[in-house]
Structure 1
Amino acid sequence: MRAVVLNCTLKKSPDPSNTQLLADVVVEALERRDVEVRTFRVVDHAVPPGVVTDLGEGDEWPTLHDALLDAEILVVATPTWVGHPSSIAQRVIERMDAMISEQDDEGRPVAYNRVAGVVVTGNEDGAHHVISEVCGALGDIGYTVPGQAWTYWNMGPGPGPDYPDTDHGHDWSKSTGEAMAANLHAVATALARTPIPPPPSSS
């Protein structure tokens, strides 16, 4: 089984990413279940705005798109900015919009029978809002979002230390991230055994 993590931090490599540190909790829990995980820091790739899969020369989204289609599990990891997903996360969702009209060999949207979850960090409140926005979009695209397929960390309202600068809340975020990984793996395994069929014909 394969998984892809799209880290939607605004920080380019090699700057440290708080979001990646929490996403790594989920990555390690998936790897313990023999899941092969690939992580992409989206801001390191040329991903221009758009709602099609391939915008032509210089567009690196098709590489990420191919990775999504090669994986059964997707984790979108995003910081919280002004109570919302990062602009990079929003761009990822907009580029994934094209997947709604892409079909597999049996006439299903290509995201069918794939599962997805969300990791959120930030020293502002708003994590549940971010989770709802991202999970809602992933469901529209065709992914199955299991129950409790998310984890987050923040310091509550107002400014505060970054994730690696404090132990506050780490135990809860870690246990929730490990539950997220278990639920993603369990539902991906179930869908592999019993796939969702193509949508009923409208004709």
Structure 2
Amino acid sequence: MALTAFAINCTLKPAPGESSCERLISETLAELERHGVSGEQIRAADFNIKPGVTSDEGEGDEWPYIRQRILDADIFILGSPVWLGHHSSICQRVLERLDAFLGEKDDHGRLVSYGRVAGVVAVGNEDGAHHIVAELFQGLNDVGFTIPASACTYWVGEAMQPTDFKDLEQTPKNIQSATAGLARNCAHLAKLLKQAPYPDQES
């Protein structure tokens, strides 16, 4: 069964600036590929995502393109750096635009995001990964995504030191294990939801 994944990197740096979050998302997509899932990531900072809570905020808004990419994929990976213990402002903007899904239904009366699996990536050289994962899990589930077991991977460096994840010569084994688990469980659940979709919703 062919599956696809789409990832949004919410680094504050537009391409081609180096991004630790991009590295961990890339490793996640590589693990997903081992389970037959083809994927791609974009940087939200490279697009004009207007503020708002609708799916189209008018002229110049590039969110509609990103929204369609999310809905075309079976697995959605949302990645954020850690800033002052929280996800990035760009990641918050993405969550706010995803809020529109609450008012959008498919042909079976379900939220348009139903049947799609989501996972989270967080990375930084300060504490806050668990907080970010908790907030993104809740937000993604609120708007209709299904969260598998152990659907996150993260890295935070030792406190008060300058090393970034992108600077590591090798990804630590425990991070590799978490990333592999995220990919394995996301792929497994996505396949199950393809075979047995959520039931129609009562009108």
How far off is 1:15 after superposition? 0.4
Hey, what does 2:159 align to over in structure 1?
157
Question: Partners in 2 of 1:126 and 1:88 — Cα distance?
Answer: 16
Cα offset for 1:156?
Answer: 3.8
Q: Which amino acid aligns with 2:118?
A: A
1:64 to 45, 66, 70: 66
Q: Distance in 1 between matches of 2:103 and 2:79?
A: 24
Cα deviations across residues 151-192 of structure 1 (Å, max 9, x unaligned)? 000114334311132358622111110110000000000111
Q: Distance in 1 between matches of 2:165 and 2:103?
A: 38
Residues 13-48 of structure 1, C-alpha deviations (whole Å, 9 max, x = no match)? 110111010111110011122212121111000001
The 3-state SS of whatever aligns with 1:77 is strand
Change (3 A) 1:7 1:34: same
TM-score, scaled to structure 1: 0.95
**Structure 2 equivalent of residue 83 of structure 1:** 85
Does residue 107 of structure 2 align to residue 113 of structure 1? no
2:48 maps to 46
Which residue does 1:146 correspond to in 2? Answer: 148
* Alignment partner, residue 183 of structure 1: 185
Instruction: State the Cα deviation string for residues 69-104 of structure 1 (Å, max 9, x = none).
Output: 101100001000011110111000000000111111
Q: Percent identity?
A: 42
Structure 2 letter corresponding to 1:56: G
1:109 alignment partner AA: L
> 152-161 or 129-138, which moves further after superposition?
152-161
Question: Could you tell me how far apart the structure 2 residues matched to 1:133 and 1:157 are?
Answer: 22
Normalised by the length of structure 2, the TM-score is 0.95
Indicate if the aligned counterparts of 2:19 and 2:166 stay in contact, CA closer than 8 A. Answer: no
Distance 2:168 2:33 in 1: 26
How many residue pairs are counted as aligned between the two chains?
A: 201
1: distance between equivalents of 2:176 and 2:12? 23
Task: Indicate conservation of the 8 Å contact 1:2/1:37, yes or no.
Answer: yes
